[in-house]
A = this chain, B = another copy of it.
Amino acid sequence: MIYLDNGATSYPKPSAVISATLNACKRFSFNSGRGGYSASVKTAEKIYSVREKIGDMFDYEPQNIAFTLNCTSALNMAIKGSVKTGDHVIISSLEHNSVWRVVNSLQDDGIIEYDIADFSFDEDETVNNFARLIKSNTSLIVCMAASNVFGVAFPIAKIGALAKQLGIRFVVDAAQAAGVISVSGVRDNIDILCAPGHKCLYGNMGTGFIAVREGVYLNTIVEGGTGSESVNPKQPDFLPDRLEAGTLNNCGILSLGAGIDYINSVGMNNIYRHELRITDCLYSGLSRNENVQLYCPRPQWKKSAPLISFNYKDYSSEKTAAELAEHNIAVRAGLHCSPLAHKFFNTLDRGTVRLSPSAFTTFRECEIFLNTLKKI
């Protein structure tokens, strides 16, 4: 199989990730922070080491990293935990349903109102699009680091600076950036960073995290046992316990640790460079195919996540993907859970076919894909 659906979840995983999973199942499947016996304590240390790896990569304190089921879960915690009745929220025009459905639900419940700031290929214009929408009751800006459909990156640091200047909380969905494009809580002024563990960070599915800057307070959407302050009828105030109720996904978390080790050993920029070259190769080949419609300029360093969207002939995106699947090429078609992005790029009617490589994608696979496409 030629796998070009790493935007959904990366495959294959580095061998060290598989080993870490197996090792975790066999040696570290104990409840950390609950037991005083050696196996539980060692497990807690291993889990904490992954908080440290994440903290190091994204510039957060390790204890302020809470593990979640996925990025969606983290975004729900971040957004719902930040707003109060009467607040105004701004999101970007390319947000995934993991943000759009959340703010929509809050608006339906009469808690917030929200506006949508348009993306622009001009960074300053994008920032201005956010700035123009700010009201006296704007308490939160939520923006993705890069689009999961079109790959275009947002000027996160500039939006972060704007938010900081005005005292507005800034939440970033780094689903398609974490692990390829550098994202920093400190440098980019990101109050809360949400990311999946199973995409560009190479951990297993079922992993994600929410990273919170020191002093940023969140209400909880899930309460339960934390192994701490057990007589307290409320969720503890301190992180990570405040955001981690119940048993963690140890095997997943330790696999994520191995995924981050893999990235650090190869070098994030090296991986990103490779993937961007692959994306560039795909883009070039598609550009030369007169039956292909592309929607964005050629992917650029730090301006794009390594993924592109296209359509072919007059086929529905699903038809193109199905034909490719017949040739054992895995791509994703449709709306990619991001109707806002498709509305913005006028592709809501047919969706797009998305190509998203990983560190393991080869130029040979790229070539096979391009040649196969010509035949369908």
Contacts and interface: CB of A to CB of B under 8 A. Distances in A.
B220 A105 contact: yes
Contacts of A13: 25, 29
A47 B321 CA distance: 22
A80 B31 CA distance: 26
A61 interface: no
A94 interface: no
A71 interface: yes
B37 A247 contact: no
Given A18-B22, A198-B247, A205-B248, 7 more contacts: A9-B31, A34-B332, A37-B325, A98-B245, A105-B220, A196-B246, A251-B251
29 contacts: A5-B31, A5-B35, A8-B35, A9-B247, A18-B25, A22-B22, A31-B205, A35-B321, A37-B324, A37-B329, A80-B221, A97-B223, A101-B223, A102-B224, A104-B223, A104-B234, A105-B223, A108-B234, A204-B249, A206-B249, A206-B250, A221-B221, A224-B337, A226-B337, A230-B334, A230-B336, A230-B337, A230-B339, A251-B252
Interface of A: 1, 3, 5, 8-9, 11-13, 17-18, 21-22, 25-26, 29-31, 34-40, 68-73, 75-76, 80, 96-98, 100-102, 104-105, 108, 196, 198, 204-208, 220-227, 230-231, 233-235, 245-252, 255, 318, 321-322, 324-325, 328-339, 348
